[in-house]
Amino acid sequence: MKKYGSICSLLLVMTLCWAGSAEAAKAIVIDGSTTVGPIAKSFASYFMKKYQTPVTVSESGSGNGAKSLINGSCDIADMSRSMKPQEIAAAKAKGINPVASVVALDGLAMVVHPSNPVRNLTESQIADIYSGKIINWRQVGGASFPIVVIQRESNSGTQETFKELVMKGRQVVNSAETQASNGSVKNRVSQTRGAIGFIGLGYTDSLVKKVSVNGVTPSAATVNNHTYMLARELFMYTNGRPAGMVGRFVDLPKTLDGKRIIKELGFISKY
């Protein structure tokens, strides 16, 4: 999906470059996180239909988004983390004032096979499972059955979130199975008795069992009130308070249509 997405956005950029030079319309340029990318792209197609303003979206990672904003090569930087102090300092030195707007909330659910009796895992238990220290469900209060660890491919946004929030620098065991998408992780977990995986909250259904983390059930409500730890805010950074078309774009998450798009993509609306 992501591959096709980046190809699509590339095509979009190309056509827009052409259109832009032809009509000299001021396009909104967006760069940054691959996690926020889908939201930005859906917003972009909605925005272009509604306001006839071209929007280009590229996905090169949060760090690169920040870099482009600092260099003035984009209007909006998508970021799946807040800007680091040194990035803000670099921006200030160049006369740019980065302002964050929250786009949506991204929650991760730890899922297991429906027959698995385990209901709750602590953060450190999850980290131990994924680093290969805990290898049997018995060690976390389940039946005596080996754990099949399922992760996402190395640069997926979901994987990044997981590594950042849970692993905290520890390495995922290299015998972990790797799946290409939220959907295929769900598919594998729903069919494999010993499996554990993590998927976006929007992807969960009755085929897999959500596990509470540190005693908190994952849901839109617990993500919203910051009690569920496997969640983070997704941002769009702009230079100063956004105004004009850029302002309208950044405010899309607050509109009804924006909320609908966010929900459809499996994220959680903050507003």
Partner 1 sequence: MQNSSGMHENEAAKSGRSSVFVVSARKRKLQKISQKSGEGTLLLIASFVAIVVLFIFWFVARDAVPYFRLRGFQEFFTSSEWYPADEPPRFGALAIIYGSIMVTLGSALIAVPMGVIASICLSDILPFTVRQYVKPVIEMLAAIPSVAYGFFALVVFAPLLQNVGGPILMWTWWVIAAPVLLLAVIVASELLTAPIEKEPKKKVLHLVSALFLGSLALLFLYFVGRHLQGLVIMSGTNALNVSIILSFMALPTIVSVSEDALQAVGRELREGSYALGATRAETIIKTVLPAASSGILAAVILGIMRALGETMVVWMASGNSSHIPDPFFNYLESIRTLTATIAGDMGEADQVTGSARFHVLFAMGLLLLVVSFVSNFISERIVVRQRKVLSGQ
Residues that bind partner 1 (CB under 8 A): 2-3, 6, 34, 60-61, 64, 146, 148, 153-156, 159-160, 171, 174-180, 184, 187-188, 191-195
CB 2 → partner 1: shortest distance, Å?
6
Supply the minimum distance, in Å, between the C-beta of residue 169 and partner 1: 9
2/248 with CB nearer partner 1: 2
Closer to partner 1 by Cβ: residue 176 or 252: 176
Q: Tokens 């030079």 belong to which residue? A: 21
Say what the alpha-carbon torsion angle 107, 266, 53, 80 is, to the nearest 10 degrees: 20
Closest separation in Å from C-beta 263 to partner 1: 26
- Of 192 and 219, nearer to partner 1 (C-beta) is 192
Q: Which is nearer to partner 1, 34 or 239 (CB)?
A: 34
CB of 184 to partner 1, least distance (A): 8
**Shortest spacing between CB 116 and partner 1, in angstroms:** 14
Residue nearer to partner 1 on the CB measure, 175 or 225: 175
